[in-house]
């Protein structure tokens, strides 16, 4: 009998949370774009800011150089340098992911919440992104930068998903409080 009452209470609680989520709704697209702009001003995201990442994994110039016997040494140096740059970019993406996760925690600490289902989805996405970034780093370290260029877009996509999610969460906070959030973030990062 006690189990039934607990189950009923949990069901009512979930129904109330679902109703609150429906009433709050999602942020308007304009608010989300503005929040995305503010997010990139507040949180330093060098990995996401680097727009030419695809060129790091393009092997066209390597193949051209490798095809000429006199330039094989230069091709090998290019491959080595691209590996270093690719690993550095993946490290920056991991740092971006960590910064976005910390910023999301800060936002939830300031009263912005998207609900348990969304939080679970974001946590799973962030975890998947982190695992993918570490796996790609290991593969590139062992095999070089030209092995899995298609997966790199997916890795960047996981970080971008979290940034959009953070912007959406920031959009739920009144714009008047964004300065307060920025100040709190500055303290969080410096301390």
Sequence ranges of the domains in the chain: 27-190
Per-residue confidence band for 4, with pLDDT thresholds at 50, 70 and 90: low
Residue 76 has pLDDT above 70, yes or no: yes
Instruction: Kindly report whether the global pTM for this prediction surpasses the value 0.95.
Output: no
Query: What pLDDT band is residue 21 in, cutting at 50, 70 and 90?
Result: very low
Confidence of residue 17 (pLDDT cuts 50, 70, 90): very low
Report residue 83 CA to chain centroid gap: 22
DSSP string spanning 46-100?
Answer: HHHH-TTHHHHT--HHHHHHHTSGGGHHHHHHHHHHHHHHHHHHHHHHHHHHHHH
φ and ψ of 157, to 5 deg: -60, -35
Q: How far apart are CA 190 and CA 94, in angstroms?
A: 19
Which pLDDT score, from 0 to 100, does residue 22 have?
Answer: 40
Kindly compute the dihedral angle of the four CA atoms of residues 151, 35, 114, 191, in this order, to the nearest 10 degrees. 80
- Residue at token pair 């695809």: 54
Measured CA to CA, the distance from residue 174 to residue 191 in angstroms comes to 26
pLDDT of residue 5: 65
């Amino acid at each position: 009998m006690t189990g039934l009452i607990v189950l009923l209470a949990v069901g009512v609680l979930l129904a109330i949370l679902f109703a609150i989520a429906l009433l709050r709704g999602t942020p308007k697209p304009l608010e989300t774009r503005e929040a995305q702009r503010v997010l990139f001003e507040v949180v330093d995201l060098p990995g996401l800011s680097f727009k030419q990442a695809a060129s790091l994994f393009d092997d066209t110039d390597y193949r051209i150089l490798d095809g000429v016997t006199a330039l094989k040494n230069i091709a090998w140096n290019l491959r080595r340098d691209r590996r270093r740059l690719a690993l550095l970019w993946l490290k920056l993406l991991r740092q971006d992911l960590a910064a976005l996760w910390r910023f999301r925690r800060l936002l939830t600490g300031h009263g912005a919440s998207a609900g348990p289902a969304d939080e679970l989805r974001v946590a799973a996405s962030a975890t998947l992104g982190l695992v993918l970034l570490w796996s790609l780093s290991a593969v590139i370290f062992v095999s070089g930068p030209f092995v899995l260029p298609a997966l790199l877009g997916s890795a960047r996509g996981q970080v971008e998903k979290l940034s959009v999610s953070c912007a959406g969460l920031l959009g739920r906070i009144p714009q008047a409080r964004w300065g307060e959030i920025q100040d709190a973030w500055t303290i969080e990062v410096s301390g």
